[in-house]
Amino acid sequence: MIAPLRLGTRGSALAMAQSGQIAEALTAATGRPVELVEVVTAGDRSNAPVHRLGVGVFVSALRDALAARTIDFAVHSYKDLPTAADGGLHIAAVPARQDPRDALVARGGRTLAELPPGATIGTGALRRIAQLHALGLQLEVTPIRGNVDTRLARVLGPDADLDAVVLARAGLARLGRLDVITESLDPMLMLPAPAQGALAVECRADDQDLVELLAVLDHAPSRAAVTAERAFLATLEAGCSAPVAAFAELAEGETGDEIYLRGAVISPDGTRDLRLSRTGTPADAAEIGKALAAELLDLGADSILGHEGHTGPGTQQFGSTE
């Protein structure tokens, strides 16, 4: 009997759900059994705001378990990964990405435009806070933390104290909770975080048999889009206090598939909002991201990013806000 592969995962309902889905997909594709191994991360043990927790707070314990060989592979929300590569590890697969849009859950089935001035809206992401301010809707934006159910209870539970919350549509989809969404937010209003909705399946780089096995889960269009978005993020060298957003889409062009990448850097109070876009081929995904970041830096994005929280390449942390 073949020993099951050990898949390391955080213990939250969302992490368990998405890891379970990957386990089932791998078994269906290869016949290999998979068992889930819960790993507690520093981010799970803290109630501090996500942007204050530090780099890779939801990732490092899983990577430590990989290095210690107590697990064989791990599944991450891709946006939790620092942009700096870990030489001993390999992203063996980027499965087909869920819808990366942000979602509004509001009392009374309201859309964002229907919320009255002064309405209280909660989110854990500085990127979302900045873009909500930039919309000029006179909303009271409140930073919140907690798992998906905790956040939803702030609006839908018996002790609800907010008018609405914003969180990633992908997380609600993976938990089977799309029914609570009152509006999926157009990226023109709310540009997602780089790699939002995507998963990263990671294993040790020297485990070539597993690298090849996991490759069956890879979805090339999703990998190309995420590559462009994360190259954009890495080139900006944005610290965790800088709201940065990016969204790449693949579409059929006149000479084949093209990537259309939109990127933004927004001041936390929403008063400065720099946005640009760029196109290119999937093969040039990383270069498209780097070039778009360079254009925004030329327009003054560095003055928004500032020196406070500017921690150098590979240190971005957007938190697990799926």
- Is the per-residue pLDDT at 28 higher than 50? yes
Q: Which tokens go with 240?
A: 């965790």
Q: Assign 41 a pLDDT band (cuts: 50, 70, 90).
A: low
The pLDDT tens digits of the residues spanning 283-301 come to 999 999 999 999 999 999 9
Contact 173, 56 (CB under 8 A): no
Q: Average pLDDT in the 74-100 region? A: 93
The pLDDT tens digits of the residues spanning 223-241 come to 999 999 999 999 998 645 4
pLDDT of residue 157: 87
- Is the per-residue pLDDT at 134 higher than 80? yes
Give the torsion through C-alpha atoms of 234, 237, 241, 245, to 10 deg.
-40
The pLDDT tens digits of the residues spanning 178-229 come to 999 999 999 999 999 999 999 999 999 999 999 999 999 999 999 999 999 9
Q: Average pLDDT in the 40-52 region? A: 49
pLDDT of residue 263: 97
Q: Assign 146 a pLDDT band (cuts: 50, 70, 90).
A: confident
pLDDT of residue 86: 83
pLDDT of residue 313: 37
| Rama region for 284: left / alpha / beta (φ>0; ψ in -120 to 50; rest) | alpha
pLDDT of residue 318: 40
Active site residue 163: no
- Is the per-residue pLDDT at 50 higher than 60? no
Exposure of 27 in the CB half-sphere (CA atoms within 13 A):
16
More confident residue, 271 or 47: 271
- Coil, helix or strand for 156? helix
pLDDT of residue 319: 41
More confident residue, 1 or 244: 244
- CA-to-CA distance for 155 and 143, rounded, in angstroms? 14
- CA-to-CA distance for 265 and 256, rounded, in angstroms? 30
Find the catalytic residue in 44, 64, 72, 80. 80
